[in-house]
């Protein structure tokens, strides 16, 4: 499974119980070459807000890939009272966001 597939599957699950947003961090270039700045480097792949209103940040990684600059972001978000972590599976994402997996 690729990381983009994992992000998609996590978003499908999380979307059943709250608002879910796929995020892109870093700089991007338009077709005309114009540079556009997105979210800051290290921002998690998924932003989830459940019925309790607590923000949850999920960084998706497949086995063998390690988070780098995302760890600082995750640490800062948890310091601020959000839920945040690395998901290597859909079950990990559910656990980070403290939701029960709905089949």
Q: What is the residue range of 89's domain?
A: 3-96
pLDDT digits (tens, 9 = 90+) for 43-68: 999 999 999 999 999 999 998 888 88
CATH number reported for the structural domain that contains residue 32 in this entry: 3.40.1350.10
- For residue 20, CA distances in Å to 30, 38, 49, 56 come to 25, 18, 7, 9
Q: Is residue 92 part of a domain?
A: yes
For 30, the enclosing helix (H) or strand (E) is none
Q: How many CA atoms lie within 13 Å of 38's alpha carbon, on the beta-carbon side? A: 14
Q: Is residue 16 part of a domain?
A: yes
Q: Is residue 102 part of a domain?
A: no
pLDDT digits (tens, 9 = 90+) for 3-39: 999 999 999 999 999 999 998 777 778 888 888 777 8
Q: Is residue 103 part of a domain?
A: no
Q: Is residue 101 part of a domain?
A: no
- How many domains, the chain? 1
Torsions phi, psi for 91 (to 5 deg): -60, -40
- The two most distant CA atoms of the chain are separated, in Å, by 45
CB 70 within 8 Å of CB 44: yes
pLDDT digits (tens, 9 = 90+) for 79-95: 999 999 999 999 999 99
For 56, the enclosing helix (H) or strand (E) is strand 55-60
């Amino acid at each position: 499974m690729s990381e983009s597939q994992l992000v998609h599957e996590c978003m499908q699950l999380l979307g059943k119980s709250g608002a879910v947003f796929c995020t892109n961090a870093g700089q991007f270039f338009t077709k005309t070459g114009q540079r556009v700045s997105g979210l800051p480097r290290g921002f998690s792949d998924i932003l989830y807000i459940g019925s309790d209103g607590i923000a949850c940040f999920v960084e998706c990684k497949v086995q063998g890939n390690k988070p780098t600059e995302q760890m600082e972001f995750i640490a800062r978000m948890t310091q601020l009272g959000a839920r945040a972590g690395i998901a290597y599976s859909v079950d990990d994402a559910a656990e980070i966001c403290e939701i029960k997996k709905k089949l």
